[in-house]
Amino acid sequence: MLELCKTVLNGVHEDKNLFRKELIKSLSWLDQEDQDKFQRWVRERFGNEYPDIIDEILKTKYSFAS
């Protein structure tokens, strides 16, 4: 599932709104361990492109898997 989430974000990263939606959705699908890996990957891969969205989503306490 982690690799699928990475693939999806890579595919939609040119659309800011879609990137935001898919980032939230991806985090909701992953268990805590994969969420941690995914968050590190997102910051490394897209941190310069969408720092505002990434900070908003990753710092917000959504009801992701626990």
Measured distance CA(19)–CA(66) in Å, rounded: 23
Is pLDDT of 18 > 50?
A: yes
Domain boundaries, the chain: 2-59
Give pTM, 2 decimals. Answer: 0.86
Structure tokens at 38: 């995914």
Render pLDDT for 27-64 as a digit per residue (tens, 0 to 9): 999 999 999 999 999 999 999 999 999 999 988 865 55
2 contacts 36 by C-beta, under 8 angstroms: no
pLDDT band at 65 (very low <50, low <70, confident <90, very high): very low
- HSE (side-chain half, CA atoms, 13 Å) at 66: 3
